[in-house]
Structure 1
């Protein structure tokens, strides 16, 4: 069976919200690290930093959703999988390699590593193969792992009904089996670069992608969905408060908790947040806000590029941090957020519109301002 499902603006709206969460985390770290613990500014920065730690997991959930939404109702053929790997791995893997080289070179220039060329190649290769060329690239590395596994999961979900109907509980089970096994046996220090650490998000995306039409029908029937939605909101608030508490206590050295506590509070906060962002994006469709929605679509469309380039702009904003009064310091933190957002967006947009083979740098993107885009509209 071949079923072409319609384009969903809601996904781009959700991506836009997710990239803002990522920017909140990264832009608030300097303010949080340079203010007095438990002061009002510290609390404000901590709330933004901790509540925003749902961006990457939401992107994973949305990526999984799009994969299953797009491919589940299509016939499994060699041509389908050839197209899949071309459109996914090529436009993700190549930019990942490009930015791994870029950020490795940046770190090499900053830290002045005293290494020979063979040592440089060996160090870079190790970081490339583990997603550690820069702090944020682990997300792309994890995404590539999911893309490699996707055809297997697609076949299994199409073949076995119980797998797709119980996708979320199975994802939670797999993820927590890995968490416990890593805690007690493997002890991989960088487990965030391992795809098993995100299976609940991946399988939630699979479930919603397969049963999307049924989900939308359920969501619109508030008599059926309101109790679940209220429960999810309550769970999100409780887990966010819990995660905030354990993180602030740990960062200030006031108290420490088991790794199980950190993992539980973060994962449930992030899972419920991803779901609520998805619901919020659908709720937005009921409002007559065409310009706002178009802006969110644009931000969502360039979100991958923003994710890749924004740490570079953030590095320079921190280098240029002015001295002076607290007003200047805090004002600079606010300015930094808008600067890295607008600067990243402008760079990605200009590259998409005017740089040939822009997919090598930022992956597949749409043209808006470029002459090709205007020519296409004129036809």
Structure 2
């Protein structure tokens, strides 16, 4: 284990971009409640597609930070104790909170509630107590696997074959996403337990990518990037976003892609899965470039952005509840996802309320066990 841990100011800006994208995903996803595709729906879909880099970026940052702290031999017992303490209490506390909140809401709205103990345990094990908590199950899986991944990484690194490791992780992730794990029947009920247990397979590439960026970080900083090349990056971003919109139209509005691209047929899913990591990496590069350019700024607005990044763990935990309450209340006053102001207004309210909640909670003793470290 490394004794010298280097600090990177730009990490919190990258976390800020990721958490803003998470909120963007969850607000723009209400296009799925629209009856048909229109201009507003297409805008929501494009925002949603573009924002889906959020979780992969969080995983890249996890790989970066983990390798920054643990790049050699690890005291596995100490590592697991420290890592699980940083995520497991928060996950269990908020899972219980969301479970109680949704059950209470269902009772108030006279909806059926499943209080069977096996069902409740299943929800805890799979991150199913609320829709965004699956991410914590994924992080816990990656933490548990990190010592083994690190050994494999160092093995390839010593032989100068990191590119091969990255390509292998990419290929395995593509195959996993093209051929997902099927549901299994437990006690006569179809469950996704195997799919949840193997979720990490689709994200190992991003973890290894983050480790590699940290390994070669100083070399990357020395390479200047022409501004013109950043402009060129907008072309593949636009193309991939359009492809993503077609994918959503096909999935949620029964749009037949073969009407426009008859040669694609069954290859469409393969295409989207294969290009998605490159799409996200282009966005990562843009976020990284922006972070490096603003990291030395002392303006109040950018300091607030840095603080959003420092609060990102807590904001992630809390924002879903804030959004849940807003979407329950606002449509009753005729303001819903069919309004052009819905996305910007709800995103801002969700962010501000989540931020203020973390600001208050982090003042309490032992708050790190609730909302994580806010340093």
The normalised TM-score by structure 2 is 0.83
Is residue 291 of structure 2 the alignment partner of residue 307 of structure 1?
no
Secondary structure at 1:204's aligned position in 2? helix
Higher relative CO (Cα under 8 Å, sequence separation at least 6) belongs to 2
Secondary structure at 2:203's aligned position in 1? helix
Is residue 284 of structure 2 the alignment partner of residue 274 of structure 1?
yes
Distance 1:278 1:167, change over 3 A: farther
2:87 is matched with 92
Alpha-carbon separation, structure 2, partners of 1:151 and 1:254:
45
The Cα offsets for residues 198-238 of structure 1, whole Å up to 9 and x where unpaired, read as: 122112111101111111112xx337x976x6775543332
Please list every run of 5 or more consecutive structure 1 residues that lacks an aligned counterpart in the other structure.
Answer: 367-379
Alpha-carbon separation, structure 1, partners of 2:272 and 2:182:
16
The Cα offsets for residues 38-65 of structure 1, whole Å up to 9 and x where unpaired, read as: 4222222222222111211111111111
1:318 is matched with 327
Which protein is richer in helix relative to its size? Answer: 1
1:111 is matched with 106
2:17 is matched with 17
Alpha-carbon separation, structure 2, partners of 1:48 and 1:131:
25
2:262 is matched with none
Equivalent runs, 1:92-241 vs 2, <5 Å: 92-112=87-107, 113-115=112-114, 119=116, 121-161=117-157, 162-182=160-180, 191=195, 194-218=199-223, 221-222=224-225, 233-241=234-242
Any conservation in 2 of the 1:22–1:56 contact (CA below 8 Å)? yes
1:376 is matched with none
Distance 1:352 1:327, change over 3 A: closer
Alpha-carbon separation, structure 2, partners of 1:62 and 1:214:
18
Distance 1:304 1:163, change over 3 A: farther
Any conservation in 1 of the 2:90–2:372 contact (CA below 8 Å)? yes
TM-aligned CA deviation for residue 174 of structure 1: 2.2
Alpha-carbon separation, structure 1, partners of 2:207 and 2:63:
5
TM-aligned CA deviation for residue 148 of structure 1: 0.5
The number of residue pairs the alignment matches comes to: 352
Cα RMSD over matched residues?
Answer: 3.1
TM-aligned CA deviation for residue 365 of structure 1: 2.4
Alpha-carbon separation, structure 1, partners of 2:9 and 2:180:
38
Any conservation in 2 of the 1:13–1:281 contact (CA below 8 Å)? yes
TM-aligned CA deviation for residue 21 of structure 1: 0.8
Alpha-carbon separation, structure 1, partners of 2:214 and 2:297:
26
Please list every run of 5 or more consecutive structure 2 residues that lacks an aligned counterpart in the other structure.
Answer: 185-189, 258-265
TM-aligned CA deviation for residue 2 of structure 1: 4.3
1:252 is matched with 253
TM-aligned CA deviation for residue 166 of structure 1: 3.5
The Cα offsets for residues 227-266 of structure 1, whole Å up to 9 and x where unpaired, read as: 6x67755433322221122212432222266543443354
Distance 1:56 1:241, change over 3 A: same
The Cα offsets for residues 246-290 of structure 1, whole Å up to 9 and x where unpaired, read as: 2124322222665434433544423432343223322334x6454
Worse overlay, 161-170 or 133-142: 161-170
Any conservation in 1 of the 2:62–2:210 contact (CA below 8 Å)? yes
Distance 1:114 1:226, change over 3 A: closer
Any conservation in 2 of the 1:236–1:268 contact (CA below 8 Å)? no
Alpha-carbon separation, structure 1, partners of 2:238 and 2:90:
36
Alpha-carbon separation, structure 1, partners of 2:82 and 2:70:
13
Any conservation in 1 of the 2:46–2:241 contact (CA below 8 Å)? no
The normalised TM-score by structure 1 is 0.82
Distance 1:200 1:345, change over 3 A: same
TM-aligned CA deviation for residue 34 of structure 1: 5.0
Secondary structure at 2:86's aligned position in 1? helix
The Cα offsets for residues 168-196 of structure 1, whole Å up to 9 and x where unpaired, read as: 21220221233345369999958477100
